[in-house]
A and B are shown apart, each in its own frame.
Chain A
Amino acid sequence: MALTGLAIYKLLPKTNCKECGQATCLAFAMQIAAGKAGLDTCPHVSAEARETLSAASEPPVALVRIGAGENALEIGNETVLFRHDKRFVHPTGIGIIVPDTLDDGVLAEQIGRVNRLSFDRLGQIHGVDLLAVRHESGDPERYVRAVRAAAVHTPLNLVLLCAEPGTAERALEAVGERKPLLHAAHAENLEAMVALARRYDLALAVRGRNLEELAELSGRAVQAGHKQLVLDSGARDVGRVLADQTQIRRLAVNKRFRPFGFPTICLAAGENAVLDAAVYIGKYAAVVLLETADPADLLPLITWRLNVYTDPQKPIAIEAKVYEVGNPGPEDPVFLTTNFSLTYFCVRGDVEAARVPAYILPVDTDGTSVLTAWAAGKMTPEKIGTFLESSGITKRVQHRRLIIPGGLAVLSGKLREVTGWEVLVGPRESAAIPAFLREYWSR
């Protein structure tokens, strides 16, 4: 976003010297705002003004990488406060904390548990992204050993929760090439932590006691030459975190406040950790760390993250394959529909309501609804025929009767010709499926 005329005017020397070719500094500011002039033609402009002007062309939230190579986690680059305004870009990185106080065997076991936290959602595997090793023991030896063990036992990206520069330095000697996120620089250790992060070229979390201190520390880190930052406002109570997260995102996006132009990290611990983490995922956290590795705690969070970070402009599609309702046998009905999730779940809900075991076959229509797909030529008899073969439904039922949506009645003749199946034109609305089955479907 370009700077406004007023903002540019405030950066100018206000000499009205006319050396830029404009009558006044105000007129010159207008020219810059309209993109008709560059700042270079003003001989009296300060270095600070140049800096501010060039910063205005950078994205509101910087892109930050945790980890090395292809598997690095990218966070930041967000541009909106509400997903319906555009979309949220980089899904929240979810990480599990392990303490360095665990015995070697227990630690390895716990890391194994974290590694196994992956789930099949809509045909894709989603898991946690980060393993965080927390320095609790007070013993540098022990911390370095735990970090080494983590590096050996997990392919996940690492977070070092260690605010002692000396200990962090020794841990980085071991795992620096994995480019872990270093947490955290604070008011007392900032210079040493920035130096470490710069030496290993990795992301550094900055923790303030409140937003004011956070802004100051972030500014200092940037001054010291490091721009791979992740912000931690220091709050741990969910209400405070929610307020801080909102302020950080708002100031970065709406006010171009540079010290907050970085992704954020939140820690969720205690009794309501899962609910708190859900709030942070919904409200701008780029990284959320938890202490639990219970799959029952992580599955809802991973599902929620998937939902929040879907692109609202793209329809949500489900996998095109045979779905079973109840426990259908070889004589039970087969419903044809599309793989637009809204359509599929309507049909599924109404078939379930009919209390008849059945198969549902959603054709891959790029996630568009029945009539949209039909109008766009994505629901042709040929395509349906191919899908009947490839889906394997022909081996699971003995009959050859296909129930199609009432809205596609016009397809029925051609469909029968192409597939050889008997085509039953179902109701226009899926809500009428139970009545339709009672009347037309007999074994």
Chain B
Amino acid sequence: MILIGERINGMFRDIREAIQERQSGPVAERARLQARAGAHYLDLSTGPAVDAGEQPAVMEWLVRVAQEATGLPCCLDSVNPEAIEAGLRVHRGKALINSTSADQERMDLLFPLAVRHGAAIIGLAMNQQGVPKDASDRLALAMELVANADAHGLPMEDLFVDPLVLPVNVAQDHAVEVLETIRQAKLLAAPPPRTVVGLSNISQRMIERSLINRTFLVMAMAAGLDAAILDVEDEALLDAAATANILLNREVYCDSFLKVFRKNIERRSQELEYRSQSSEF
């Protein structure tokens, strides 16, 4: 399970203010917290408050600050291809682009960009007509993503299909379709594309968010989910992910499996710290 930390996003007030004042401290602190909690990637989003013209410079700055603090690879989250390209130029290691839709002109722009920089890319199962309702419509768009990725020579394991999670209080009938899409995405190609969800969206503006998030994460993992953008600082959520790992026979069981999950995270973040200290930043 690939965990993508969601917290460095201009939608959050602390990050928005840090961006406006170019204060690297709060961003670096969030990066470190998420790395320690177990993130494999850090999602970076300027948020809508930054002008389009400013976005490339801000993205570049976020990548530098996050990677200096942790050495983790980043998930460059923007609808602005120029901001993504600016981030890719300074990014070290294998980045994840977030995202392209299944619209032809977006795919023709972003897939070559991913291939050129050796980055992975998230493909949203939607187009200008909006978010499809049922699994078969989502899969048809996922197939468009797969066929186009293949045509551009992107390795299938570098394509992360996002079936689009919607809030359950206003779009309750979508969640089950998302699960079915995840299940059937394995039929699209061999090796199959990977799957990812923006997990926290399932509980937008609802109560008991953590409970809803972790319950859906476990269900999606059972359907074959490979990655999620989520709140890695939510301990109950990570415990649920660790438990699902055991029940899906992805990790060998032992009585101290939660501890082992944390230990692995700790060991990895120590390695990363060592690597970032010894690198040429």
Contact = CB atoms under 8 A, between A and B. Distances in A.
7 contacts: A2-B187, A4-B190, A6-B190, A7-B189, A27-B143, A29-B143, A33-B188
Interface string B134-168: 00100110011011001000001000000000000
B192 interface: yes
Interface in A21-48: 26-27, 29-30, 33-34
A5 interface: yes
B184 interface: yes
A255 B136 CA distance: 26
A9 B147 contact: yes
B188 A4 contact: yes
Nearest to A9: B147
Interface of A: 2, 4-7, 9, 26-27, 29-30, 33-34, 255
Contacts of A9: 143, 147
Nearest to B186: A4
Given A26-B147, A33-B187, A34-B184, A4 B192 contact: yes
Q: Lowest 8 A-B CB distances belong to which pairs?
A: A6-B189, A5-B188, A4-B189, A4-B190, A33-B187, A30-B143, A5-B143, A6-B146
Contact of A27 (B140, B150, B188): B140
Interface size class of B (residues with CB under 8 A): 10 to 19
A46 B123 CA distance: 32
A4 B187 contact: yes
Nearest to A254: B190
B147 A6 contact: yes
Nearest to B150: A6
Contacts of B190: 4, 6-7, 255
A30 B139 CA distance: 8
B50 to A, nearest CB: 37
B242 to A, nearest CB: 23
A6 B144 CA distance: 10
B140 A30 contact: yes
Contacts of A34: 136, 139, 184, 187
A6 B154 CA distance: 13
A26 B143 contact: yes
Contact of B144 (A4, A26, A33): A26
A9 B140 CA distance: 12
A7 B192 CA distance: 11
Most A CB within 10 A of own CB, among B146, B150, B156: B146
A6 B193 CA distance: 11
A320 to B, nearest CB: 32
B177 to A, nearest CB: 15
B144 to A, nearest CB: 7
Most B CB within 10 A of own CB, among A5, A26, A29: A5
A5 B144 contact: no
A5 B148 CA distance: 13
Contacts of A27: 140, 143
Contacts of B136: 30, 34
B119 to A, nearest CB: 21
Nearest to A25: B147
